[in-house]
Amino acid sequence: MKISIKDITSSVDKTEKHQGSFDLDAFDYLGSNFSINSTKPFEVVLSMLGNKKLRIGFNTTVNITGQCDRCLTDVVFDVDANVEETLDISDGQVVVDEEIGPYSFVDGEDIDIDELILNEILVNFPAKILCQDDCKGICPVCGKNRNIEPCSCDDTVLDPRMAQFLDVFNSFKEVK
């Protein structure tokens, strides 16, 4: 959702509350696709501090479905989004920092709540998405999901240290 900040930025010491919503269905991150199942209800609080600063604050939790990094089965997990931003305001307009450039979530007289939440999700994203801590992954030789059906291929990849090595190897491939 987008919220207009036109009125509040020309006010002094004013606070507004808005019923929030997160309107994205899905997003891509590091080459994988994630779908958004639900978002905990939240209220966006906008506060003018005097007439020079606008504070934007809210907290929510987003329920996401992605795929296990090792075996690719679906994994459902929560990520918190705790947003706290303060914008400098001058003459009712958001001041653009010359070094940082315009804020990506400020679009004219609107702030983009979806973008603020997505940024926060990516900051708090789990380093590893696993269906279970000791997921045995997919056998690189025969392609079977080893959590479901053990296979008799070369056993070295069953060693969890090897599985970790494969994770590093896979993420290294993604970076390239």
Residues at the contact surface with Zn ion, assessed by CB under 5 A: 68, 70-71, 131, 135, 139, 141-142, 151, 153
Side-chain-side CA neighbours of residue 24 (13 Å)? 19
Q: Give the integer Cα–Cα distance in Å for 176 and 113.
A: 32
The least CB distance from residue 152 to Zn ion, in Å, is 7
Q: Give the integer Cα–Cα distance in Å for 66 and 51.
A: 43
Considering Cα of 58, then 63, then 67, then 69, what sign does the dihedral take?
A: positive
Nearer to Zn ion among residue 4 and residue 65 (C-beta): 65
The least CB distance from residue 84 to Zn ion, in Å, is 34
- Beta-strand ranges (E) seen in the chain are 2-4, 15-19, 26-29, 32-39, 43-49, 53-67, 74-90, 93-94, 106-107, 110-112
Nearer to Zn ion among residue 104 and residue 164 (C-beta): 164
If we measure between CA atoms, which residue out of 60, 24, 25, 32 comes closest to residue 128?
32
The least CB distance from residue 30 to Zn ion, in Å, is 17
The least CB distance from residue 123 to Zn ion, in Å, is 24
Nearer to Zn ion among residue 23 and residue 74 (C-beta): 74
Nearer to Zn ion among residue 116 and residue 131 (C-beta): 131
Dihedrals phi, psi of 130, to nearest 5 degrees: -125, 140
The least CB distance from residue 154 to Zn ion, in Å, is 8
